[in-house]
Amino acid sequence: MIDRDRYPVDPWRLIEARYDEGGVSETIFAVGNGYLGLRGNHIEGRGAHEHGTFINGLHETWPIRHAEQAYGFAEVGQTIINAPDAKVMRVYIDDEPLSFDEMEVHEYSRSLDMRTGVLERNVVWVTPSGKRVRMRDERMVSFDERHLAVLRLELTVENADAPVTISCQLLNRQDGAGIYAGDPMVSRTTGAAGFDPRKAEKISERVLLPVEYWQDGLRSALSYRVADSGMTVAVLADHIIETENDYSARSLVEPDIAKNVFRVQAKAGVPIRISKIVSYHTSRGVPPRELVDRCRRSLDRVGVEGVDALFEGQREWLRAFWDRSDVRIAGHDDLQQAIRWCLFQLAQAAARADGNGVPAKGLTGSGYSGHYFWDTEIYVLPFLTYTSPQWAKNALRARVMMLPAARRRAAQLNEAGALFPWRTINGEEASAYYAAGTAQYHINADVSFALGKYVLATGDRDFLRREGADIAVETARLWATLGFWRGTNGDSTFHIHGVTGPDEYTTVVNDNLFTNVMARYNLRFAARVVQEMAADDPPAYAALVDRTGLDAGEREAWMRAAEAIHIPYSDALGIHPQDAFFLEREVWDLEGTPASMRPLLLHYHPLVIYRFQVLKQADVVLALFLQGNHFTDEEKLADFDYYDPLTTGDSTLSAVVQSIMAAEVGYQDLAREYFEQGLFVDLGDLHSNAADGVHVASTGGIWTALVSGFGGMRDHDGALSFDPRLPADWPELTYLLQWHGSRLQVTVTADALRVEVREGEPVMFTVRGAAQRASVGEAAIVALADQGPVRHGRPTLRQIEDARRDDGTRLSASVPVTSTSIPIIEAYED
């Protein structure tokens, strides 16, 4: 899955042993902190798949042009934009540029150390005149100081004197000549199929309007106002040169570029060291001059404390991160390396988001336009909640801040309460294709689900009562009006029609099982929150009523709807249909579909896909995991067996969920297979689009697959439990959890599970139904004599065909294998 000659195994570092200027390399060697992200472009600043410097939330808006307009369609698009690029530090020897295309390279290595958070590159090359040059450059985006990044370069001409020039630049690439082409307003970058809805919109008009720019000594400043969104951004860079060689410095500053050029008369063996300290600040409306002052203060602080203090602070920050977040697998360094890389990506995407959302690609690329989706709540929040709860609360607060826009959106769709946007940066809906966008109402339940999990895992009822309860109330209100009652009073059921579930190959359906199951949770959760607040904290309840206009009868209405909500089930097939009419469709012949026609969304018109039983990603299976306490073991196995062979895996959100449920129902080998598909989705570029950025949701899913899949952790209704399902060749799995303020370490072997409390109060839990207790100094050790049935092989389409034949259902699976060449306007996840 990964080229081990190029990327050798190291359990703590990602290493690149040969030079690569490709887009995947830029993505997997990106560094960031959740606020600022720098793609892994080389400092020479030349050829690249994408020169990326991204700031969470820094975006431009543009009018969405619908081929046919209708009421309520999203009107304003949003896309992440490039902040000024500070990565460039160009090197010239004898006035010849460092260029990997032309130079004679003797040594090359690059590594991302996940203990230090530093990207380091070492190069030795020989010039045409025989001068041997050794160079080391480092790059770090501070976790401790969210507005700061440091780039350091050390260069030595080892065997001769030589003139050396180092040009350190700030460059506005967003508006650079030749960067974008196409429509005067917006054009999409395209893939081999002629389009790719997973890529970002590219804006060809001027985006960053220069405001203040200046040079003061070795300090440069650029600042801008974003043309249509009105956001502001400033960047300052300071430079420190350390060398015993003679040198001179000159500078240049213009609206879109600032240069600090060092000319050094290098002596043989005498090193040159340059530190470039960079500060970025952004705002939704603060004048650029104020942001320049903030950047100045950030840099002044480094001047007092020193650059080395930033690197030491980074090591300490990551030491604490790994002490509460690491997951260890004994005897598998290749898997260990990839696991730690995934967990490190979660820190880089979320740690310092500080109230912003978590973009689907983090800050490693422009894929999905930098938008926030349901990924955060379902795939990223579990890791944050159980290892770094403050980060989880920050992400949930981002949703609280979106409530005013969500209320407006619900009213626009003729519903009560709030409807969170399917994709957004600024809180407004930016999905141009409602069938696979706005119709995914389940995002409301996903947000409430994440809120409920956070509260039950942390005990943070203060946040719930001050802010979180507003989410519960407003999302429940939407379900109460979106759904409807059918039948007589004595035998009536509650239905939700015209929605799209997680599977985007089946859209605008009635009674999608995932949606109904999650809506039921949402309604019950909101009713319970309101009841508990009224009983336990009347002042907080009164404030909630004042904020939301809550009516006394709403709670009862929510409970009635929750208890009566329709959960589809087929007695004939013994499974839960994905929606009311899913089983009436023909089965897509996946085995007969050539690999060249995958993913389906790039080769078939949506109306072709929508007619068949074929899944982009796990839908029912995801519901089995999230709401597993509402399904029997037999139902989980039957549903998994039915839907697994129908699932294309065209979404990177799917494999991790399939791994979790495969482990639970006994498909041990299959669980391992799906796990590795998710684990290497970016490092192995398994979906051929890692160049556009890291699939952050998949990295979060990897943690959940380890902890909840193989580690067997569940916390349904706030009750912590374990039922491990370890792969046969894994001798030991160890992971860490925070539960109600206590810090746990869980160790699983084939024979036993050990839970120890490293810090905090004793913890009660169950292991395969048996009550257990662990406390500091008194670990719980439970023998695991039997892990349940182990099933070999995998579910096949033949099982589905046999079941449907017994049911007398039509089986035709006539599927075209040539593209209709009609593009899908928008689809989410690859």
**Catalytic center residues:** 504
Cα–Cα distance measured from residue 795 to residue 495, given in angstroms and rounded to the nearest whole number: 31
CA-CA distances (angstroms) from residue 550 to 416, 451, 545?
Answer: 12, 19, 5
Q: Tokens 């009983």 belong to which residue? A: 535
Residue 411, helix vs strand vs coil? helix
Q: Where are the extended beta strands (E) located within 496-555? A: none
Q: Extract the tokens encoding 561.
A: 């709807």
Alpha-carbon 10 to chain mean position: 24
The DSSP H or E segment spanning 392 is: helix 389-412
Q: State the burial class of residue 551 (Cβ atoms within 10 Å of its Cβ: 0-12, 13-18, 19+).
A: exposed
Q: Are 691 and 24 in contact (CB under 8 A)?
A: yes
Cα–Cα distance measured from residue 374 to residue 219, given in angstroms and rounded to the nearest whole number: 41
Strand order in the sheet with 162-171: 96-97, 89-93, 162-171, 257-266, 246-254
Q: Extract the tokens encoding 140.
A: 């770090």
Q: Tokens 């926030």 belong to which residue? A: 372
Exposure b/e, 470-508, CB count within 10 A at least 16 = b: bbbbbbbbbbbebbeeeeeeeeeebbbeebbbbbbbbbe
Q: Are 554 and 472 in contact (CB under 8 A)?
A: no
DSSP bridge partners of 371: none
CA-CA distances (angstroms) from residue 601 to 258, 375, 504, 826, 829?
Answer: 43, 20, 9, 10, 10
Exposure b/e, 786-809, CB count within 10 A at least 16 = b: ebeeebeeebebeebeebbeeeeb
In terms of DSSP H, where are the helices of 601-650?
Answer: 606-609, 620-626, 633-643
Number of Cβ within a 10 Å radius of residue 144: 17
Cα–Cα distance measured from residue 627 to residue 103, given in angstroms and rounded to the nearest whole number: 58
Residues in CB range of 651: below 8 A, 6 or more apart: 504, 616, 617, 829, 830
Residues in CB range of 304: below 8 A, 6 or more apart: none
Number of Cβ within a 10 Å radius of residue 10: 16
Q: For every residue of 321-383, which 3-state class applies, written as one string?
A: HHHHHCCEECCCHHHHHHHHHHHHHHHHHHCCCCCCCCCCCCCCCCHHHHCECCHHHHHHHHH
Whether a cis peptide bond, with omega within 30° of 0, leads into 11 is no
Cα–Cα distance measured from residue 251 to residue 260, given in angstroms and rounded to the nearest whole number: 5
Q: Tokens 């209320």 belong to which residue? A: 407
Q: Are 727 and 710 in contact (CB under 8 A)?
A: yes
Amino acid identity at 167: S
Contacts of 122-127 spanning 24+ positions with Cβ under 8 A: 125/98, 127/93, 127/94, 127/96, 127/103, 127/162
Residues in CB range of 638: below 8 A, 6 or more apart: 574, 575
DSSP bridge partners of 214: 221
